[in-house]
A = this chain, B = another copy of it.
Amino acid sequence: MRRIQMFMYTDIRVVPTMVVDRRSRNQAHGPSKLQITKNPKPKELPDLSTLKFGHTFTDHMLTIPWAVETGWGTPQIQPYGPLVLEPSSTVLHYAQTIFEGMKAYHDAEGRIRLFRPDMNMKRMNTSANRIALPTFDGVALLELIKELVRLDKHWIPKEPGHSLYIRPTLIGTQRAIGVSPPNEALLFVILSPVGPFYPNGFKPVALYGTTEFVRAAPGGTGAYKLGVNYAPGILPQKHAAKQGYAQNLWLHGPEHYLTEVGTMNLFVVFRKDGGSTFFSIPLEILMDSNFIYSGYELVTPPLDGMILPGVTRDSVLTLAREHASGAYTVPGLPEKLTITERPVTMKEVKKASESGTLVEMFGAGTAAVISPVDRIGYEGEDVLIPTGEDGMGPISRHIWTELIGRQTGTISSDWSVVI
């Protein structure tokens, strides 16, 4: 294991002027100095109506080089522009790259808010470790990201549903084509203003129950946010699209366990009316004194090594659990709610769809927040999933409202960080 190395930037909260020394921007005195070079030619802000996810970038980016001998180098905020990489760079040959996705929002008071950014920093370090890239001080990186966002804050759209997507990325840049931990790496952060995922209201998507391709496998990398989990999904997505489905529903093993949806985590809601679905619930959950024998069951596949520990996934689970326990009330959410992380098979979903105990299904992720599903192409037929008139179901609708409220600051919570 490579030891945790810091940018030597941990004091920024306490004495920011000592560390963010803008006067020394042309001097590289060491890793304790953030250097800022302002873009002399800022771009025109984009027409929000034409925004396409991840196609427009702001005026600046953050870069931090790393080398095995010297550790993390000087963080630089500089004009957004191309990277100069040796053709032998590890990332170009062996896919040594990890990334994160998070968002900055304008709140009603004109402040800027991030949503649970500490989780992204922690996960990014877990990812780095898995793929032999250097780890870092997540608190320090977050402070640097805040500096970058502040500098480009006029790029954050103020319109509802809009935000600034933040993309931290860490790549291996060793100038040699051996398959080994790199001796050089580069962390960079770019920003992209994005519009609402569903500009005209929620539009439930149809999924293709995919068994011929896998997203992840036991002992693989599915639980880490590595680049390698993404490009291999493009061909399966094209196959799904060709058959009229929007995304892949990744089914695992001969039991066809539901795992993830496209690049999102997955939730299913069953109605618990003492009926048939009980048989599919593991005994230890039924025996749990917190288990409610009526009402709704909100289910998501467990973090078994194949599931990405999504920030939105965790937020949905936490909100629902706090609501169910009475510790917090999510307005509108049914009282009788059981939350379980357990395996779900297509057999169970299909049976529930037929018996009327299937309530809803949705994807959860940073980009779309909540993405309702209305059918699954499975073994030659379509399994239908109920959706409400507005596209959402009785559980997701209220969780979504709460999440968006917390993200944009209309509902106060310690998940939202004003910067």
Contact = CB atoms under 8 A, between A and B. Distances in A.
Contacts of A96: 231, 234
A190 to B, nearest CB: 5
A80 interface: yes
A191 to B, nearest CB: 11
Interface in A42-87: 52-55, 57, 61, 80-87
A230 B93 contact: yes
A93 B100 CA distance: 9
Interface string A233-245: 1110110000000
Given A132-B234, A212-B219, A91 B92 contact: yes
A93 B169 contact: yes
A346 interface: no
Interface in A330-355: none
A220 B221 contact: no
Most buried by B among A81, A179, A220, A233: A179
Given A88-B57, A91-B92, A231 B188 contact: no
A366 to B, nearest CB: 12
A97 B172 CA distance: 14
Contacts of A93: 97, 99, 167, 169, 227, 230
Interface string A375-413: 000000000000000000000000000000000000000
Q: How many copies does the complex hold?
A: 2
B82 A86 contact: yes
B95 A230 contact: yes
A214 interface: yes
A94 B230 contact: yes
A90 B231 contact: yes
Most buried by B among A180, A228, A230, A238: A228
A219 B214 contact: yes
A181 interface: yes
Interface in A115-132: 129-132
Contacts of A54: 88, 176-178
A82 B85 contact: yes
A94 B131 CA distance: 14
B177 A131 contact: no
Contacts of A85: 82-83, 85
A52 B176 contact: yes
A192 interface: yes
B231 A94 contact: yes
A199 interface: no
A172 B91 CA distance: 12
A356 interface: no
Given A86-B82, A88-B54, A131 B178 contact: no
Given A95-B97, A181-B234, A84 B87 contact: no
Contacts of A357: none
22 contacts: A54-B176, A54-B177, A57-B88, A82-B85, A83-B85, A83-B86, A85-B85, A87-B190, A92-B227, A93-B97, A95-B97, A95-B226, A95-B231, A131-B232, A131-B234, A179-B234, A179-B237, A180-B234, A180-B237, A217-B220, A220-B232, A226-B231
Closest 8 CB pairs of A and B: A217-B217, A95-B95, A95-B227, A54-B177, A214-B219, A94-B230, A228-B228, A96-B231
